[in-house]
Amino acid sequence: MKKTTLYDEHVKLGAKMVPFAGFLMPIKYSGELSEHKNVRECAGIFDVSHMGEIFITGIDALAFCQKITCNDVSKLTPGKIQYTVLCNEQGGAVDDCTLYMFSENHYMFCVNASNIDKDFSFMNAHKFGSVEIINKSSDYDLLALQGPQAEAILQNIIDVPLKDLKSFWFTHGKIFKHDMIISRTGYTGEDGFELYIHPSESKKLWEVLLEKGKDANLLPIGLGARDTLRLEASYILYGHELDDDTSPIEAGIAWTVKLGKGDFLGKTTIASHADGQMRKKLVGLKMIDRGIPRSHYGVYFNNEKIGEITSGGYSPTLDVGIALAFVHPSYDKILQHVDVEIRNNKLKTEICKLPFYKRS
């Protein structure tokens, strides 16, 4: 298993380490529930250095990015970030990612850790014109600072005016000896930042942030709380709600699809899904009976199986079991009662409006 630069720091802080996407990563430190609550109320710092960074440069960089993604890259301007999906010829998702625009001919994809090699190969297989594709994942560590106190904590150590940085925009700032990319993004449902930094400086940044964040009760956060936080916010996870056989429309992120932008991979199938010809649809479930829904549990209506849970668990914020599930499109009505099979018992739940949680 690979280790991030901060592996020893996690062990020192008493983290429980587990295999994840080819890396040994911290699943929890003090406890998943307390860490979850701390991000919602104060702030948390995550080591997400296992994520990948793939750069696209050249005269045809824009046309290339348009071809392989479903969102409209032409809407980007320097400093803007776009959530998008790499689509295959069949309309399925190769990966979901964020796309950063540095300049007219210079972009960066931040991709999921388990898909770095796959995405790089996919991009090269569809390369055309004057385009250079460079995998710089080993050149960056990535820290996510999330929560209501994130801005105040980060502002203590950099001179970039963060209040002027809007959501899904990024800027540059010097930290120690290297340039740092500072983006107002995250995957928790809270305000926050993702910090791209050279691996030689990440340990120092981690330590400084924890020190400067003491008064704001900043805590290190593991993958366990990261998952419950993203589930409450109804953010999808590749390999659960999205995969090579699932389109962005089916996965509930139709807003990333811009059919009017011109041709792109998988457009024909995705357009048919947009017209309602879907095989499945992602919905939210909230337990009525007492129980915790988990991935792969069956969803039933009148004892007929209509779907399966993709992600599920206990919501610390709502104090109830919640889940995302794929169901047959005819069973997607809000407040409709369906059953989830938990340990051979069918327990009552209801289809609910997403997201489960949205910060005020």
Task: Tell me which residue has tokens 């994840």.
Answer: 20
Note whether 196 and 211 are within 8 A (CB): no
Q: How many C-beta atoms lie closer than 10 Å to residue 241's C-beta?
A: 22
Residues 203 and 208: their CA atoms lie apart, in Å, by: 9
pLDDT at 97 over 80: yes
Average pLDDT over residues 85-94: 98
Q: Which of 133, 154, 171 is the last residue of a domain?
A: 133
φ, ψ dihedrals at 32, nearest 5°: -65, -40
Which pLDDT tens digit goes with each residue over 295-321? 999 999 999 999 999 999 999 999 999
Residue 175's pLDDT is 84
Residue 35's pLDDT is 98
How much of the chain, in percent, has pLDDT values that exceed 70? Answer: 100
| Higher-scoring residue by pLDDT: 159, 54 | 54
Which pLDDT tens digit goes with each residue over 201-215? 999 999 999 999 999
Question: Which residues touch 343 (CB under 8 Å, ≥6 apart)?
Answer: none
Q: Which of 133, 167, 184 is the last residue of a domain?
A: 133
254 lies in a domain? no
Domain that holds residue 173: 2-49+140-232
Q: Which runs of E-coded beta strand occur in the chain?
A: 2-3, 16-20, 23-28, 43-47, 52-57, 81-87, 93-103, 106-111, 132-135, 141-146, 170-175, 178-183, 192-197, 218-220, 281-287, 298-301, 304-315, 320-327, 337-342, 345-352
pLDDT at 178 over 90: no
What three-state secondary structure class fits 264? Answer: coil
> How many domains, in total, are found in the chain?
3
Residue 176's pLDDT is 82
Same domain for 63 and 124, yes or no, is yes
Average pLDDT over residues 63-69: 98
Average pLDDT over residues 33-50: 98
Note whether 334 and 213 are within 8 A (CB): no
Local confidence band at 327 (pLDDT 50, 70, 90 cut-offs): very high
271 lies in a domain? no
Instruction: For residue 203, give the CATH number of its domain.
Output: 3.30.1360.120
Which pLDDT tens digit goes with each residue over 139-175? 999 999 999 999 999 999 998 999 999 999 999 998 8
Same domain for 128 and 145, yes or no, is no
Residue 351's pLDDT is 98
Q: Is the preceding omega at residue 355 within 30 degrees of 0, hence cis?
A: yes
Same domain for 41 and 107, yes or no, is no
Residue 177's pLDDT is 77
118 lies in a domain? yes
241 lies in a domain? no
Q: Note if the pTM is more than 0.85.
A: yes
Same domain for 31 and 176, yes or no, is yes
Local confidence band at 268 (pLDDT 50, 70, 90 cut-offs): very high
Average pLDDT over residues 66-79: 98
Q: Which of 133, 160, 187 is the last residue of a domain?
A: 133
Residue 174's pLDDT is 86
Same domain for 25 and 164, yes or no, is yes
Largest CA distance in the chain: 63
Same domain for 156 and 286, yes or no, is no
| Residue 11 structure tokens | 């062990």
Same domain for 149 and 228, yes or no, is yes
Write the single-letter amino acid at 287: M
Same domain for 44 and 150, yes or no, is yes
Residues 63 and 272: their CA atoms lie apart, in Å, by: 24
Which pLDDT tens digit goes with each residue over 192-241? 999 999 999 999 999 999 999 999 999 999 999 999 999 999 999 999 99
CA distances from 236 to 85, 188, 248 (A): 12, 11, 10
Which pLDDT tens digit goes with each residue over 110-144? 999 999 999 999 999 999 999 999 999 999 999 99
